[in-house]
Amino acid sequence: MRKYIVMGVQGSGKGTQAKLLADALDLEHISVGDDFRWNVEHHTKLGAQVRRSVAGGELVSDDLVEKVVQRRNEHDWNYGFIDVCGGQLVARADDSPEAVRARLRDSHAKTLPVLELFRAKEVVLEVDANQPAGAVQDEIRKRLGV
């Protein structure tokens, strides 16, 4: 069984690349961010906890991530869905430059130990995401040999 983890800071395109790779390899795409948004939009208790973290400009705690992922199988989106809301795009309160800098610092601090663990046990490929999405996807597939 093939398992891939796509990591990157917020807005780096990891969701786009994961979806493209999942489609190409006929794999299930699991997005923790989508799971967060579902819980927030459906006013679950977990969604309230996620909302508080995000509103405070913080990353969601590892414990809360684990809870959200564990509960993922309780929802009917495992059978697929299309979520077209037609709403207006607006800036979030947690998109201020200060909040973004704080999230990036926190993200790097929490991600580095995970990457070091993966480097010791698994194959880690780093890809430059500062190019068009198609070029990034081509590089990912080439480096994975798929």
Q: Which helix (H) or strand (E) holds 40?
A: helix 32-41
Side chain identity, residue 146: V
* Residue 4 tokens, joined: 């891939």
Residue 91 pLDDT: 67
Question: Which residues lie closer than 8 Å to 32 by C-beta, 6 or more apart?
Answer: 65, 68, 69
Residue 134 pLDDT: 93
In the chain, the N- to C-terminal Cα span, in Å, equals 14
DSSP assignment of 51-70, as one string? Answer: HHHHHTT-PPPHHHHHHHHH
Comparing 18 with 73, which gets the higher pLDDT? 18
Q: Whole-prediction pTM value?
A: 0.62
Residue 133 pLDDT: 92
Residue 85 pLDDT: 54
pLDDT of 89-123, one tens digit each? 666 666 778 888 888 888 888 888 888 888 888 88
- The CA distance from 70 to 133, in Å, is 30
Please state whether 13 falls in left (phi above 0), alpha (psi between -120 and 50) or beta.
left
Residue 142 pLDDT: 92
- The CA distance from 43 to 97, in Å, is 27
pLDDT over threshold 90, residue 135 = yes
